Amino acid sequence: MKVINSESLVALPREVKALIRNGVYTLYTLGAAGGAAYLLVTNRGEFYLLSSDGRPQDASSIKSVTDVDLDQVVSFSDSGPPSEFQVNWA
Amino acid sequence: MGQHLLLNDNTLWVFVTCSQEARHLDDVVFGIHVLRGRGVSDDRILVFSDHSKVGPHLDPYAIGSFPLSSLAAKLVAVPPHRYAVVVVGGHGHVAGLGPTPSPPSQPILPAHQLFSAIRAIPELVLGIVVLSQCFGGVFNYADALAHPQLVVIGATNLNPSLSMTISIREPIRQVDGSEGLRSWLANIFTAALFSWLRSPTDIDGDGQHTLMDAYKHAGATSNEMLRNAKSGLFVQARTFEKALAETEEELANVTPASDPTGLTGQLLTLRLGAQKQQLAEVLQNLYLHQEPWVLHANLAREACFA
């Protein structure tokens, strides 16, 4: 698992970051994918190649996670804004 | 003392998850973290998942897994166990376990098939099945009295199950010692169930820590969490709705001339999809209710956790 600060993805909408943080969307680092740094997978099975600052790139060639060389799952070191969903457990 | 005492050396724990979302694998990581804390050894824990890239999610916690399609073949070949606890998560379908809509390539796992696989565990005396996925009630009214007997618990009946973001004070450590899972959109019934298992309490006052206590704790706690969130969710829904409308308007104004590369439109589409997902989650938790159920309650009172 690769832990980064979500603020490094300056171009990525905060709503997307919130869903990554919750495990609804998944962000992977890439081994090699023509310059893209990350692959974003939504819960609707959509794929977005992202640059290192979170900007979408053309991902039309990707139909499955097996089409790219996935490396690690990305999680964020910062907790993000509080949510009404939030329950804090000991 | 109840008739069935579930111990670390006589109980097999099985996690079954049907989902491509990381949060459902996070539910498994949390559950196994609790079991390890109770002294359950890894050779008595099995994970079955249909996730297309499960390794990067579970490997950091030294959790192995098998394809969901191998469930029946694996369970019939495990070493003998007197008891098995099977925790089912991920997405439920009106016909069983699977996503809605279900792609043709993915068969739905129906109740009879799941129960048959569990009953085939060698020398099983009692199987406990906890269903946390949507429409868990389609697994109800099974023949639980056939041998080996089953206790079946559902987080909810013939309606969607619900999740909320849960943060744990101490992140779950990865095998390399670094901090790992600490917050995720957790299935609230499963989270509450494992919270009980971490520190069992006697809910009904009979002096024992039974499966019935776990059921009552998980059902009541998860519904209390939902109730406490309602008023805040109402306000949040209005905020999300406004933001979504603004993005729709922005996207409508994008033209080939203003966005020759198409990347602005792609970014707005990505944001819009996320906003719709967030609004849907808030509305579900605001308006839906979970009604937990238990099949074979008498046996649930006899199943004790040490």
Of A18, A75, A89, the CB nearest to B166: A89
Q: Is A84 within 8 Å of B169 when comparing Cβ atoms? A: no
3-class DSSP string for B4-32 = EEECCCCEEEEEEEECCCHHHHHHHHHHH
Q: Which two tokens stand for residue B230?
A: 């309602």
Residues in chain B with pLDDT < 50? none
Q: Is B22 within 8 Å of A65 when comparing Cβ atoms? A: no
Backbone angles phi, psi at B70, to 5 degrees: -95, 10
Residues of B numbered 168-207 whose beta carbons fall under 8 angstroms of chain A's beta carbons: which are they? 168-169, 174, 178-181, 183-185, 188, 191, 195
Q: Is B60 within 8 Å of A1 when comparing Cβ atoms? A: yes
pLDDT at B169: 85
Q: Using one digit for the tens of pLDDT, what is the confidence trace for B74-109?
A: 999 999 999 999 999 999 988 899 877 777 677 789
Q: Using one digit for the tens of pLDDT, what is the confidence trace for A58-72?
A: 766 777 777 788 889
Domain B4-224+290-305: CATH architecture, name and number where available: 3-Layer(aba) Sandwich (3.40)
Residues of A numbered 3-62 whose beta carbons fall under 8 angstroms of chain B's beta carbons: which are they? 3, 11, 13, 15-16, 18-19, 21-26, 28, 40-46, 48, 55-57
Is the minimum CB–CB distance between B67 and chain A shorter than 8 Å? Answer: no
pLDDT at A83: 61
Confidence of residue A24 (pLDDT cuts 50, 70, 90): very high
In sequence order, which residues have a C-beta less than 8 Å from that of residue A54 and are 6 or more positions away?
A: A8, A9, A10, A11, A12, A38
SS3 B154: strand
Q: Using one digit for the tens of pLDDT, what is the confidence trace for A45-55?
A: 899 999 999 99
